[in-house]
Structures are given as C-alpha cells and as structure tokens.
Amino acid sequence: MPSPSAMSIPKHIEFVEVGPRDGLQNEVVLISTDDKNALINRAIDAGARRIEVTSFVNPKRVPQMADAEAVCANLPDRDDVTYIGLVMNQRGAERAIATNKIDQLGAVAVATDSFAMANQGQSSDESVEAARAIIALAQAEGRTAQCTIAASFGCPFEGEVPDRRVLEMALAIAEAGPVEIALADTIGVGDPAHVARLIALVHKEMGPLPVRVHFHNTRNTGLANVWAAVTAGATVVDASIGGLGGCPFAPGAAGNVPSEDVVYMLERAGVSTGMNLDSLIQASHWLSDIMGRKLPGMVAQAPSFPKAA
Ligand code: ZN
C-alpha cells in the first residue's frame, strides 16, 4: 500500500463516458437507436471527448447492442471526439472498422479463467492473446486500441484475484502497443486500499503507458475507488451518465460510477475533467425519463452546490 506521502492529487484527468455501451447493455427493454444517439450527443455537449458508443458482439448474447452499425452511422463527424467500440474478437473488430466511424477499438481481457469463459468463451490467457490480436488489427487498419482487464479486483466465480496476475496481464498486453490499459472492477468488490495498491503497482511497472480505471458501484465503494485510483496514478476514468450499467455475464453487477457524481467529486477537489456538470445533470434527468425510473446517481437528485450567484 502506498504511504500517504506517495499519493498526489492530479490537476487533470481524462474522462470517458461509457453509458451508451456499458450503461445500456444490461437493460432488458430495448432502447431505440435514436435515444442511444441522443445520449451520445448529450455526452459530447457536456464535454466528453472519448465515448464508448457501442459494442460489436453477438446480438444473440447482448440484444441491446444489436444496432451497433446503426448507432455508428448516426454519429456526428467530430475530429475532436474519439469514438470507442468494444470488441471481443476479430469478427467484432472487423465490424467496428467497417463502420468507418469507430476511432478506437476497446478489447477486453479477463483476469480469471471462470469469468473469461462466461464472458467470452475462452481462458484468461486466451483472452490476453485475443486482446493483443485486436490491438494489432486496429493498428494495421490505422485505428488505435486499448484494453480493459475485467475482474481486476475480484471475480464473481473465483473470488480474490492476485495483484501479480493483473500486472502480468497488463505487461503482456502493453507489449502489443495499446494507447492505455484499464483495470476494471467489473463486479464492484474493490476497496480504496486495494485500488491504490494495484493502480500504483501497475502504473509503476508500465512506465509511461496511461492507466484507465472502470468501477462499478455494486457495494457503494465506486467513488472512493475513483479517488484512490486517481491519487495513485490513474489518469483516465470511465463513468456512465446516471450510474446506469451492469454486466450480463457477471451475477449481481450493478451500475457504473455515475458520470455526474464523479465529475462533481473531482472538480470540487480541484481535478479538472473537461466536463460541464450542469449539462451532465440535465443529461441524467433526460436519461431517467427515457428509462422510466430513478437512476442511481445522487448528484442529479441533490440541490445544486454552490448555489448560482
Ligand atoms: Zn463495466
């Protein structure tokens, strides 16, 4: 665990909105393509410059993402926005590249064999190889790629995940040349001390390659984990508007950390995110109406602070 003196508050982090993909993928009721594009446009208007817009996976397994190509066709042409498409294999990568809209492929490796099998039908080592192949394919096609290590902080089937396993995977994937590597708490079991320790370790060993973090708020440790991560060296943070989200293949996984709650916390603490909080709150209210229910995010339900002059 890093000593308190090893922690430092960054001036800036890079924000990634993942609501259109990770936020929506677990919803049973199909959201219209138009509403998905409206959510993406609201994220852009709120300042998001990296957005996970969809995933190119088997529609039989994840029906909510069956309109990936249609969502991409409606994306505004913005040179200043990086559109990320999540892919699990070569077929998904080829679909993403064929849209001509996806700037960056997001690959996924999984830290344990049981979860890798449930999520993508392969062993953990095979998922590392698949991620490396996706990164190579993206580069050959003039795109960038990044990789998320799912279940970095715990597995729904196997329990504890050793730090050294996550580090070993991160180093193996880093060799393939991704723009960053993310550690994901897919099922929301991490605590801030664990997060600080693992992020500091991976950050130190991977050198200049940025570390992104992806937290789910299943046990209400999400925001604390974001803070632990950014003060331990993570420079990129995933979040979803309203705190929507879950994983179809991870029993009991709840939503992502809410974008507006993350932005409120970081900006109040002096960490700039490039995001407009009021726009995010309005987007969260809009999304709540679309979903027909209250969303988990708390800042959008609270009075504004500080009060407008
Ligand atoms: Zn997730």
Per-residue pLDDT, 5: 46
- How far is it, in rounded angstroms, from Cα 221 to Cα 306? 25
| Proportion of the chain above pLDDT 90, given as a percent | 90
What is the distance in A from the centroid of ligand 1 to the CA of 73? 24
Of 81-85, 242-246, 256-260, minimum mean pLDDT range: 242-246
Render pLDDT for 276-293 as a digit per residue (tens, 0 to 9): 999 999 999 999 999 999
The confidence score (pLDDT) of residue 249 equals: 72
CA of 178 from ligand 1 middle (Å) equals 19
Average pLDDT score over residue span 41-67: 96
Ligand 1 centre from 308 Cα, in Å?
34
Residue 309 has pLDDT above 80, yes or no: no
Q: What angle do CA 155, 152, 66 make, to 5 degrees?
A: 80
Output the pLDDT for position 154: 97
Q: Pick left, alpha or beta for residue 103 (phi over 0 → left; psi -120 to 50 → alpha; otherwise beta).
A: alpha
The DSSP secondary-structure symbol of 216 reads: B
Write down the CATH superfamily of domain 4-301: Aldolase class I (3.20.20.70)
Residue 4 in this model has a pLDDT that exceeds 60: no
d(CA 298, CA 308): 19
Tell me the C-alpha distance between 78 and 112, whole Å: 37
Q: How far is the CA of 255 from the centre of ligand 1 (A)?
A: 8
pLDDT at 247 over 90: no
> Is residue 247 a contact partner of residue 238, using CB atoms and an 8 Å limit?
no
Q: Where are the domains of the chain?
A: 4-301
Mean per-residue pLDDT, 81-87: 98
- List Cα–Cα distances, 270 to 39, 221, 263, in angstroms: 27, 21, 10
What does the pLDDT average to over 123-137? 98
* 54: β partners: 85
Confidence of residue 257 (pLDDT cuts 50, 70, 90): very high
Report whether pLDDT(37) > 70.
Answer: yes
Q: Are 212 and 234 in contact (CB under 8 A)?
A: yes
Which residues are part of the catalytic machinery? 247
Q: Residue 141 is encoded by which pair of tokens?
A: 């096609």
| Pairing relationship of beta strands 82-87 and 236-239 according to DSSP bridges | unpaired
Least confident window among 189-193, 247-251, 254-258, 267-271: 247-251
Which residues fall inside 5 Å of ion ligand 1, going by CB?
Answer: 22
Ligand 1 centroid – CA 286 distance (Å) = 22
